[in-house]
Structure 1
Amino acid sequence: MDPEQQVLPLGHGDGDAIRVVTASKIWIDHNTLYECQDGLLDVTRGSTDVTISNNWFREQDKVILLGHDDGYLRDKNMKVTVVYNHFGPNCNQRMPRIRHAPAPAHAANNLYQGWMQYAIG
């Protein structure tokens, strides 16, 4: 739904395991996610008040993306907490990748079992 409560067409799926779009007050908890076509988890297009906790992310290039793209201004108000997650083995990047700084994003008490390119960006 868009801010005016109209259905927002998103097109076909893009290969993410979980895709949060224009949503708020979301809790993503106790999942095991791995080996997806694109990324494991995207939070985009003005989504906010999202908690990502107690998940196991493994065997993936792009893990978590917070923000649609660098020019999407509604993502500047995004609030996301990434806590008590296990990353790895074989995660390359985006644990998470935050598009708009200084958007409030908190990462705490996560286990990073190695990474290849970078962990938090």
Structure 2
Amino acid sequence: MGPGAKLLPMSKMDGDAIRMLGSTKVWIDHNTLYRSKDGLIDVTLGSTNITISNNWFRDHNKVMLLGHDDDFKDDKNMKVTVVYNRFGPNCHQRMPRVRHGYAHVANNYI
């Protein structure tokens, strides 16, 4: 379900542990995520007002992506807070990777 209660077609799953597409007001809290097929958390396609807190990310290459792609304009309004998370051991990139929007990243252990 997308904005305005419209059904949105979803692309094929790409192996993310948690994937948000056009989501608003989501709190991801107290999870342990590791060894997913693709990313651990992807926040894309205009998602906003997302909080990612108190999670443990470990043993993974592409940890967290905020923003769909460089040309997707709806992501410019994205607001994501990433606080009190633990990254590692064995996390290599995207802790987080921010393409567009506003990301408040504070008090994480890397």
Query: Per the alignment, in what secondary structure is the counterpart of residue 8 of structure 1?
Result: coil
The superposition leaves residues 82-101 of structure 1 with CA deviations (integer Å, 9 ceiling, x where unpaired) of: 0000000000100100011x
When the two chains are superposed, the root-mean-square deviation of aligned CA atoms in Å is 0.9
- TM-fit CA distance, 1:9: 1.3
The residue number in structure 2 matching 1:119 is none
Corresponding pairs, count: 110
Alignment TM-score, normalising by the size of structure 1: 0.88
Q: In the alignment, is residue 62 of structure 1 matched against residue 62 of structure 2? A: yes
Unaligned stretches of 5+ residues in structure 1: 113-121
Q: In the alignment, is residue 90 of structure 1 matched against residue 87 of structure 2? A: no
Unaligned stretches of 5+ residues in structure 2: none
Q: In the alignment, is residue 44 of structure 1 matched against residue 44 of structure 2? A: yes
Q: In the alignment, is residue 75 of structure 1 matched against residue 75 of structure 2? A: yes
Runs (4 or more) in structure 1 with deviation over 3 Å come to none
In structure 2, distance between residues paired with 1:14 and 1:5: 24
Instruction: Write the letter of the residue equivalent to 2:104.
Output: H
Instruction: Write the letter of the residue equivalent to 2:109.
Output: L
The residue number in structure 1 matching 2:105 is 107
